[in-house]
Amino acid sequence: MSGNREKGRDSSARDERFSVNEYLERIRPLAARVGFQMETFAAIGPYGLPVLVRGGDMEPLLYLSTGVHGDEPAGPLAIERALAADSFSYDFGWVIFPVLNPTGLEKGTRETEKGIDLNRDYRYLRAPESRAHRELLATRNWQFHAALGLHEDWEARGGYLYEHNREALPNPCQALLSVLEENVGIDASGEIDGWPTTSPGLIHPPSDSGLRDHWPEQIYLLKYHTQMSYTVETPSEFDLERRIAAHSEAIRVFGDERVWIEDRRKS
């Protein structure tokens, strides 16, 4: 792993890419079996953008997304595994976006086929994918107890977590970090992705949308749809199975109300 930060990469490994349409056909019956409705809210070329909803009128309601970057396959595959294992807690309602960048996933590239990084596009909305996503969220006016994004980082030496929780609400932060440590280890660097860590593997970047010109998905969600968000990052250099396992466990603990504890920053 020592040379990983210097080498860079253009796309994911070929043996980690998959057919998006075949993936969607696989998860459709899995989702129905555990009570989710799977809707297509937009079309991107030959692909439909799916959303899975169960208990959409429930409180509390959780948000989950992945497949924002096409060179990060572990998240979508973890959702498939979690559906098969019935790992989505019934203590919460769920709104899940398993594939937000189908053209990138098919090609194994971070950006869409038009070269747009969706995770920098939630303010100016240059891409039809982010436009359609924002339009759906605004139309449904969902308000989420918390949001979770599943991502990967080819520079990382282990797993790490972004936390936005300005009100220091009860949260699953420590449980998510434990999942990462158990499955892929923790990146103990003092600075990750340009941000200082506040403890091993934990980053608290600014939550104020006014401080960002190009909004990531989670900054948009914090402005309009939730007070709390988490982004799990696993190291792309690690074996795919380990990354899927880490994301699958993150999904499970995110929905486990027993791990939501008082934030120690209140004391």
pLDDT at 4 over 60: no
Q: What pLDDT score was predicted for residue 215?
A: 97
What residues contact 141, with CB distance under 8 A and at least 6 apart? none
Q: What pLDDT score was predicted for residue 266?
A: 52
Q: What pLDDT score was predicted for residue 109?
A: 97
What's the domain count of the chain?
A: 1
| DSSP code, position 170 | S
Q: What pLDDT score was predicted for residue 6?
A: 38
| Angle formed by the axes of helices 240-254 and 173-183, nearest 10° | 160
Arithmetic mean of pLDDT over the chain: 94
Lowest mean pLDDT among 210-214, 216-220, 245-249: 210-214
Higher pLDDT: 61 or 3? It is 61
* Contact indicator for 108, 14 with CB cutoff of 8 Å: yes
The domain that holds 226 is classified in CATH as: 3.40.630.10
Domain enclosing residue 102, as ranges: 4-266
Question: Ramachandran region of residue 67, left (φ > 0), alpha (ψ -120 to 50) or beta?
Answer: left
